[in-house]
Amino acid sequence: MDSAQQLSFKVFHGPNLIVPFAAVIAEFKTSFSHPLPADTIKQFLSELARYPLHVSFTSEEVEFAYLVSELAMALQDLRGPSGLPARVDRLDGQVFRVSIGFFDMEVAASALQAGYGLAASVYARSAGGVVNTARINTLLKRVATLGLNHQPDKITRHMIRVARKHDIPVCQFSPGSNVWMYGHGAASYRFIRSVCQDESLIGVHLVRDKVHTHRLMHRLGFPSLEFGVVDTPHLAREVARQIGYPVVAKPTDSEGGLGVTVAIASDQELDTAFAFARSKSRIGMVQIEKFIHGDQHRLSVFGGKFKRATQLSAAHIVGDGVSTVEQLIKAENKRRIDEDAAVQSVLQLEIDSAMIEMLAKQGYGLNDSPPQNVRLQLRQISNIKAGGKLRDVTNLIHPDNIKMAEAIARILSLDGAGIDFITPDISICWRDIKCAILEVNSPPGLSTDYLAEKVILEKFPPGRNGRVPSILVIGEQLDLLNRIVERIQSAGLQVGRTDSSGTSIAGEQRFDRQPEWPARILALVLDPACEVLVTACSTGDVATYGLPHVRFDVALVAELDSVPEHIREFLRISVGQVIEPETTSTIDPHAWPAIAALVGRKERACTQR
């Protein structure tokens, strides 16, 4: 049966003779010759699959091979949209080929296998057959588990989308890790989410402890919070009386607003808040700090430079003198649907006991009508999960507040920092208003491609796409290869080289046994010592592997007429420039304009970095 077929796969790590992108490819023959209605497919999928699959069909009826492709891509995207390419080709009769782009080839192959099995089950169900749902969901669970461990998370997907938009190559630095490499060789950077290799371990260590952060801000002369760290209600009251009510109680070791109570005005309220904070702390320690009126702001610094300021306001309503509190909350929810759906950073407000209690503290109930312009807080904290709202205030921030943010990142040696700053007005200098640094975060966090672009362009400004110069020689022309390498080394650049004689960087050999060509190239571009890549292969290698990992700038083909036409055409499309030397034994590589230009480009890049 179709559902029992074991697919065979081909993997290409770059453009190839089948598709113009890195792909995992499956070929299969199927007896399912008729298309199914898209609505029927979606109904059966909801019945068969334990995991929600987000599929979108461009036509009302879908053929089997296209369903396999859509399902495989949806399974790859269980962690979120990847933007990877896919293609379906009919080879002969009912023989099809499905090619999908990938981050991890094991995940892609597993997604194709599960997608094929699920598509066959949908077709079998439509014909009234019995489907082994347990087997199907075992396949789906495998994909989901692999994807959780191997696929990029949300922040990394933002980074990858932006990198590819700017023609910057991306690959997983080590299989199964959350470290991703952007660029190749000496032109590359490695990131964990938005944290760059340039990040300071000392800075990261310091900002993990809020107490260290507050003490350091005080020592630096920046606005800091009065606070104390306690482990009993008695000590909490002592600290609160010393710094003066209102205060905030929070666990010293939690994130995301967990266990936080703000605007505590009395000993009785503090006892309750202390117990709540301590229950959310792994170590049982609670920080009592002075409450500062104002909105929380995130000042984002990337590459040591201020990039963006966002205001995070706690959920609130503003009276109009007519509407009741309940009506104002409904109106606020409608605004969130109409205005904020695109940014996907706000939640609908639900009236609960905590909200009613918060309103009561301000003297209002759900049926009361607050006067015009009176602001009522609905939640204690401004966290997004508590209904807080983000607003971009980059154009409003005072220049001295920018300088403060950059100085904090510089002193902590943080390449990227998110400085949480509370102030009633971001447009007023920090020296002229009651305000405070709440904490410093590394990484600063990313929620949109817009912010990811700030990170990527800081490392790869216009004109630099992270690619090292790359030269391909078709044919085993070792003498030619040697002279190319000598020419590049004479410019003081380190060459990553691989051919039938071995694999080396700056003359240092890699591998005791030579692996396949793609693995050898990958070993070179992963190494920041590689400033120029030079490699040789046969036309058979091109047919078998495509052009792995690298989009070559120059391909030198000694006897172009002897190369099959389909490979010649592929090289013309996939390589920057194809050159046929008149004679490979006498021509001087110093005179080749293409290679001279590449060497010059790399020399300039080395100077700029």
Chain segment 129-161, per-residue pLDDT in tens: 888 888 888 888 899 898 888 889 988 999 999
Mean pLDDT of the chain: 87
Whose tokens are 């410093």? That residue is 440
Greater model confidence, 14 or 129: 14
Given pLDDT bands bounded at 50, 70 and 90, which one contains residue 586?
Answer: very low
Nearest-Å Rg of the Cα atoms of the chain is 30
Per-residue tokens: 365? 């109930």
Q: Identify the pLDDT of residue 55.
A: 86
Half-sphere exposure of 476 (CA within 13 A, CB side): 6
Number of C-beta neighbours around residue 128 at 10 A: 6
Chain segment 508-542, per-residue pLDDT in tens: 999 989 999 999 999 999 999 999 999 999 999 99
Q: Rounded to 5 degrees, what angle do the CA atoms 571, 576, 579 make? A: 70
Alpha carbons 179 and 302: distance in angstroms, whole number = 18
- 64-68, 355-359, 404-408, 466-470: least confident range: 355-359
Chain segment 461-494, per-residue pLDDT in tens: 988 999 999 999 998 788 888 888 988 888 889 9
Could you report how far apart the first and last alpha carbons of the chain are, in Å? 58
Give the mean model confidence (pLDDT) for residues 193-203. 87
Q: Where in 305-347 does DSSP place strands (E)? A: 305-313, 316-318
Question: What values do phi and psi take at 317, rounded to 5?
Answer: -130, 160
Question: What values do phi and psi take at 250, rounded to 5?
Answer: -150, 150
Q: Identify the pLDDT of residue 446.
A: 76
Q: Identify the pLDDT of residue 343.
A: 47
Is 460 a residue whose pLDDT tops 70?
Answer: yes
- 19-23, 27-31, 127-131, 582-586: least confident range: 582-586
Domains annotated for the chain, with CATH where assigned, are: 2-150 (no CATH), 154-198 (no CATH), 226-290 (3.30.1490.20), 295-455 (3.30.470.20), 470-608 (3.40.50)
Say if residues 312 and 384 touch (Cβ distance below 8 Å).
yes
Regarding pTM above 0.85, the answer is: no
Is 246 a residue whose pLDDT tops 70?
Answer: yes
Is 609 a residue whose pLDDT tops 60?
Answer: no
Say if residues 159 and 452 touch (Cβ distance below 8 Å).
yes
Give the mean model confidence (pLDDT) for residues 310-330. 90
Alpha carbons 105 and 151: distance in angstroms, whole number = 10
Q: Buried (b) or exposed (e) across 47-75, using 16+ Cβ within 10 A?
A: ebbeeebebeeeeeebbbbbbbbbbbbbb
Share of the chain above pLDDT 70, in %: 92
